[in-house]
Amino acid sequence: MKSSWVWLWENYSGGLQAIQEHPSALTVVSPNTYSLLNNGTFGAQSPDAEICPQVHAFGLQCIPFIQNDQSNPTGINTLLTSETLQSRFIQNAVSEAINSNVDGYNVDFEPSSGIQNLAMQYGAFLTNFANAMHAQGKTLSVDIASWDNGAFWNYTIEAQSSADLILTMVTYDSNFATFQSGLQAMLTNVPLNKIAIGLLTVTDDSNLTERFQEINANNIQCVMVWPSFPGFLTQMYWDNLTAFLQN
């Protein structure tokens, strides 16, 4: 079954209004609600983003993302070198998922200078986290790119984890050839049913239709859109997302 996601990370009321006006374009909204704190614990990112009741009222899934401090490696390094912290993080996150009735989480941990070589540990953490979410009937997806020289992100390791979806951010690139290369890297390393292709508004707009043609031609079942403000999604995005779900 196809899925079409949008991240919502500011101007929540305006975003929700636009989403409500395009009921056939999306299946999932992912607000910027939670964070990995630099002490390795699970915390709130933005109380304004606690919008799952509104999202559910539209008949859509609400899968908040969990974001680290992307200018500081301390949170990731601290979490992934302590099994105790990992267990506590997962327990707290799952409890919050149950209490807030979220449908899952999207893990958006992004490494910065000073990141340790933790790809194996990250894969094990994702498996433990996903298994705990699955036990409650909820999902876990994870974002991946390639600018860390393999210290943290590893296609094969993440694909072998229990995470439900692996999103590539490589396909955000404004260069269409880079988009195609990123898509092919996913097809080579990740099972088709786990692939999610990332799109970035403004950057992708000039060849958005061609990107969707490539996505459809390769039978990819999930796309996720990061709205690069100013603005939210243009009509071109709404039209392509609607057509993707109907194709």
SS (H, E, C) 97-119: HHHHCCCEEEEECCCCCCCCCCH
> Whole-number mean pLDDT of the chain?
96
- pLDDT for 45: 86
Residues in the chain: 247
Contact 118, 152 (CB under 8 A): yes
Q: Which residue has the higher pLDDT, 83 or 203?
A: 83
pTM for this predicted structure: 0.97
What average pLDDT score do residues 151-179 get? 95
- pLDDT for 215: 98
For residues 46 and 150, give the distance between their C-alpha atoms in angstroms, rounded to a whole number: 30
Q: How confident is residue 229, by pLDDT bands cut at 50, 70 and 90?
A: confident
| Residue 230 reports pLDDT greater than 80 | no
Contact 4, 244 (CB under 8 A): yes
pLDDT digits (tens, 9 = 90+) for 162-175: 999 999 999 998 99
Structure-token match 């890297």, residue found = 185
What average pLDDT score do residues 80-109 get? 98
| Residue 103 reports pLDDT greater than 90 | yes
Q: Which fold has domain 3-246?
A: TIM Barrel (3.20.20)
| Residue 202 reports pLDDT greater than 90 | no
The token pair at 8 is 């919502």
* Residue 166 identity: I
For residues 120 and 158, give the distance between their C-alpha atoms in angstroms, rounded to a whole number: 9
Those residues whose C-beta lies under 8 Å from the C-beta of residue 13, and which sit 6 or more positions away, are none
| Residue 204 reports pLDDT greater than 90 | no
| Residue 8 reports pLDDT greater than 80 | yes
Domain boundaries, the chain: 3-246
Output DSSP code: residue 147.
Answer: T
In 3-state terms, the chain is what percent helix, strand and coil (to 5)?
45, 20, 35
Structure-token match 């390795």, residue found = 40
